[in-house]
Amino acid sequence: MAALIAARGLTKTYRLGQVDVPALRGVDTTVDAGEFVAIVGPSGSGKSTLMHILGCLDTATAGSYHLDGEDVSRFAGKRLAQVRNRKVGFVFQTFNLMPRLNVEENVALPLKYRGGVPRSERRERARALLERLGLSHRIGHRPDELSGGERQRVAIARALVGSPAILMADEPTGNLDSHAGAEVLATIEELHRDGHTIVMVTHDADVAARAQRTIHIADGRVVA
């Protein structure tokens, strides 16, 4: 079967005034549907940059990128926003929940941006996911009333609510204590068992060991 992610020769160069800062120097990678992949490497090696490009938050300076059969490296603006909304579920190190919205509203947000999903369906899907992640009792709470682990699991629910092709997490346990981190990791593993495709950035070897496969990055290149 075709790979879900197929990237060839991805380069990303940041321009700081007169100086070019290369963050990625030609990355080739593929991820198949149902895989659980960890991206590891030292700080500043380009892990986040790669994940942002794979998650369509950013575009590469050069190279080609096919996501779920579409050549998204040619997309921009509204179409890219659509791909982010439908194909990718993003989980951030700092949770990034909307402080003014309650848990259910936070989770339903991507469906709002999708448009055309009736309110009742948005609610239902958000509630179903929250129940699955064991957060039913938190539905009406504000993010600041939750523990770190709970917040990250709400964020995972939000990432999954739109049934994306792939779940991407950038250091999802980076801001959590070991107990909460283990909890979140267990959730991610469970999702993988249920058939979700997961790409996770981490620089913790123990965390990376839980993945099926590891992509090592150093200085903007895949080294193993």
Partner 1 sequence: MTIYESVLAGLEEVRRHLGQTLLSLLGLILGTGSIVTVLALFGGQGELTQQFIEEVGGVGTIIVSDRDEALRPTARELASKRLTYRDAAFLKARARSLLAVSPGWARNLAYRVADVSFEGQVIGTVPDYAFINDIRPLVGRYLSDLDLRQRARVTVLGWAYADSLFGTAPRALHQLVSIGDRSFRVVGVMEREEFYFAAWSGNALAYRNRRAYIPITTAQTLFSPDDRLSFLTLKARPEHGAAAAETEVTSLLFARHGVEDFDIRASGQRGSEDQQFFLLFNFIFLVVGVVSLFTGGIVIANIMLASVVERVREFGTRMALGATAGGIFTHVLAEVVVVTILGGVLGLALGTALTGTVAHFMQMPAVVTPVIAGSAIVTAAVVGLLAGIYPALRAARLSPVEALRYG
Ligand X SMILES: Nc1ncnc2c1ncn2[C@@H]1O[C@H](COP(=O)(O)OP(=O)(O)OP(=O)(O)O)[C@@H](O)[C@H]1O
Applying CB under 8 A, the residues found at the interface with partner 1 are: 52, 55, 57-58, 77-78, 81-82, 84-86, 90, 92, 94, 96, 98, 100-101, 105, 109-110, 112-115, 158, 162
Residue entry with tokens 């620089």: 203
Out of ligand X, Mg ion, partner 1, none, which partner does residue 73 contact, by CB within 5 to 8 A per kind? none
What length is written for the chain? Answer: 224
Alpha-carbon gap, residue 77 to 80, rounded angstroms: 5
Alpha-carbon gap, residue 114 to 123, rounded angstroms: 14
By CB under 6 A, residue 49 contacts ligand X = yes
Q: Compute the least distance from the CB of residue 58 to partner 1, in Å.
A: 4
By CB under 6 A, residue 20 contacts ligand X = no
Q: Looking at beta carbons only, is 108 or 211 nearer to partner 1?
A: 108
Alpha-carbon gap, residue 136 to 126, rounded angstroms: 10
Q: Looking at beta carbons only, is 48 or 173 nearer to Mg ion?
A: 48
Alpha-carbon gap, residue 224 to 215, rounded angstroms: 6
Which of these, 158, 156, 148, 132, lies nearest to 181 by C-alpha position?
148
By CB under 6 A, residue 173 contacts ligand X = no
Alpha-carbon gap, residue 55 to 69, rounded angstroms: 14
Residue nearest ligand X, CB atom distance: 48
Alpha-carbon gap, residue 186 to 177, rounded angstroms: 14
Out of Mg ion, ligand X, partner 1, none, which partner does residue 162 contact, by CB within 5 to 8 A per kind? partner 1
Out of partner 1, ligand X, Mg ion, none, which partner does residue 86 contact, by CB within 5 to 8 A per kind? partner 1
Alpha-carbon gap, residue 110 to 97, rounded angstroms: 12
Residue 2: what are its φ and ψ, rounded to 5°? -70, 150
Q: Compute the least distance from the CB of residue 213 to partner 1, in Å.
A: 25
By CB under 6 A, residue 45 contacts ligand X = yes
By CB under 6 A, residue 113 contacts ligand X = no
Residue of 27, 29, 37, 48 interacting with ligand X (CB under 6 A): 48
- By CB under 5 A, name the binding residues for Mg ion: 48
CA atoms in the 13 A half-sphere facing the CB of 13: 11
Contact at 8 Å (CB) between 194 and 165? Answer: no
By CB under 6 A, residue 120 contacts ligand X = no
By CB under 6 A, residue 140 contacts ligand X = no
* Residues in touch with ligand X (CB under 6 A): 14, 16, 21, 23, 41, 43-49, 203
